Structure 1
Amino acid sequence: MNNRPQTIQIFLPGGDPRGLRVAEITTRIVQAIEVPRNLLAEFLKMPESEQVAVYLLVGPNDDNGEEKVYVGQTGDLRKRLAAHNKEKDFWQRALVLISRTHSLTQTHVLFLEWLCIQEAKKAARYAAENGNGGSKPHTPAPLEADCLEIFETGRTLLATLGYPVFEPVAKPATASIDPELFYCKRAGTNAVGEYTVEGFVVLKGSKGRAQVASSFVGHTFGKRRDALIQQGRLSVEGGALLFMEDVLFSSPSGASAVVCGAASNGWTEWKNDKGVTLEELKRGNTASSND
């Protein structure tokens, strides 16, 4: 994803910021439309619902709260979404990607459906409802190039609307920039993480304590830990708590608490490779700049 300045316009057809929202980058032809399920009938009256489209259905798993996503494509959006409204229970929002110039073809959306499934699974923010990713459809090189550009626009628009389905929780290392890493090495732990714009990410392969403090049972972070184990994102093996994938927490303290199995101050628990705490690096700089 290219991090460059962009102008995004969001139109509210009903005037309600919690209702239907249509987002577009002003220089591109792609639109992302967020459709709350209870406003589906209103969307199906809009001309945008007549187009060839790729769509995502998103909503939580009632058992553990994990967000789920289903990716589809269609040349008959009205019929397909109406069918999903009757047949699928989990979703709360439909996210529709269309072309303002009506230029998407069935070849485009077949490739985009496959690509969206692959990227959603790779990002692992949402549990994929699609049974499998299928095989890459044959797409002529010029159309594939168009699809890749459409996808990049769509991922930016969806993230802007609050659905970072395709965004990895941890920033991958590049040839020019390595992520700033922090470590939690309290007795029985060996965890590595990143402090990001969304919160704190504990990286795959990190090790935490399998046992928890008695005061941690029933604690908010203790419940989060149990849910992550239930989801298979954490695993208790050989007396250790293993992170099976990158896991995003809203705060450094939530991350360290799950790693340590006890309430802790993540701002002082997480340290860089020189032993400097997250508190000193991030809060200290902020405090001094305001003096």
Structure 2
Amino acid sequence: MRPQTIQIFLPAGDPRGMRVAEITTRIVRVIEVPRSLLADFMKLPEATQVGVYFLLGDPNEAGLTRLYVGQSGNVGKRLSQHNQAKEFWNRALVVVSLTNSLTQTHALYLEWFSIAEAAKAARYALENGNEGARPYTPPPLEADCHEIHETAATLMATLGQPVFEPLTASAAKAEVELFYCKGSGADGVGEYTSEGFVVHKGSRGRVENVPSIQGKSWERFREKLVEDGVLILQDGALVMTRDYLFTSPSMAAVALQGRSANGWLEWKNKSGKTLDEVKRQPVEADPDSPDPD
């Protein structure tokens, strides 16, 4: 990572409306388009360009934002088609070139690579299905695509959509404090991050739901995790197939234990201290420190 200058332009002056992000030394532009303002986007010259786009929708039952990745030689026209045919999305991120230099070959490769990288990061619920075969791309264009993707990923994260960023600090090779959830048939490990709680791949949970949550939202939540392949039945347990971000420690505990749970108390570090003790309870004041004036 290195320092960078990013500028965000508000075409209508509304921070909740359309936003245009650029890194000042790059040729890539990302335009965030609320679905309600699609007609305004269609008036921009970028709407007729070759581009890659990301449709974002409300979270699914497992708490993941729904995502569809696509490309087009006329990105505005394609978004108009999706406006008629796809119900789930409420905003789009459109990646184009400031110099209008993207080709269809660039776009096809960027679409394929973006789907693969988004699936690897596992932050969003991909609506694409099969990611398809890797398109043939000459090496010089492929090198261009990786630079474009890197810039687009930074701009998208700046706009609040870190589609390609690793879920865990451990994935970024940083030292992290791990927490463990044991009991009620669970044997899980994870870490608390600024975005929620990440349960690590290989964590194990109980198969059955306790009677008190059967037929209720927590049961449907766990069923959705199984349906999406986040949890699979293996050797008499439900096993996490990948690192997975839950929006709260309690959701992470429920996923593994099959019952209502307070994750702040269920997750404990290697010393046996609860997540609440480590992360939420105020640090005691130093008795030797002077009283404030």
Count of aligned residue pairs for this structure pair: 287
- DSSP 3-state at the match of 1:245: coil
In 1, the alpha carbon distance for the partners of 2:196 and 2:61 equals 24
Change in CA separation of 1:287 and 1:26 when aligned onto 2, cut-off 3 Å: farther
Which TM-score applies when normalising by structure 2? 0.84
2:102 aligned with 1:104, yes or no? yes
Cα offsets for 1:15-54 (capped at 9, x unmatched): 2222211112233221111112221111000112122211
Q: Which amino acid is 1:256 matched to?
A: A
Q: Name 1:122's counterpart in structure 2.
A: 120
Change in CA separation of 1:172 and 1:104 when aligned onto 2, cut-off 3 Å: farther
Q: Which runs of structure 1 show a deviation greater than 6 angstroms over 4 or more consecutive aligned residues?
A: 61-65
How many percent identity over aligned positions? 57
- DSSP 3-state at the match of 2:186: coil
Give yes or no for contact 2:198–2:246 (8 Å, CA) kept in 1: yes
Cα offsets for 1:61-111 (capped at 9, x unmatched): 778775332222222223222222223332222210012222322222222
Q: Name 1:271's counterpart in structure 2.
A: 268
In the alignment, which of 187, 194, 201 is matched to residue 204 of structure 1?
A: 201
| Structure 1: gaps spanning 5 or more residues | none
Cα offsets for 1:217-244 (capped at 9, x unmatched): 4666555334323433234556533323
- DSSP 3-state at the match of 1:41: helix
Q: Which amino acid is 2:22 matched to?
A: E
In 2, the alpha carbon distance for the partners of 1:221 and 1:261 equals 8
Residue pairs, 1:129-140, within 5 angstroms: 129-140=127-138
Change in CA separation of 1:111 and 1:230 when aligned onto 2, cut-off 3 Å: closer
2:13 aligned with 1:11, yes or no? no
RMSD over aligned Cα atoms: 2.8
- DSSP 3-state at the match of 1:190: strand
- DSSP 3-state at the match of 1:42: helix
Change in CA separation of 1:260 and 1:198 when aligned onto 2, cut-off 3 Å: same
- DSSP 3-state at the match of 1:287: coil
Q: Indicate the larger mover: 178-187 or 115-124.
A: 178-187
In 2, the alpha carbon distance for the partners of 1:46 and 1:243 equals 44
Q: Which amino acid is 2:166 matched to?
A: P
Q: Which amino acid is 2:115 matched to?
A: I
In 2, the alpha carbon distance for the partners of 1:61 and 1:194 equals 22
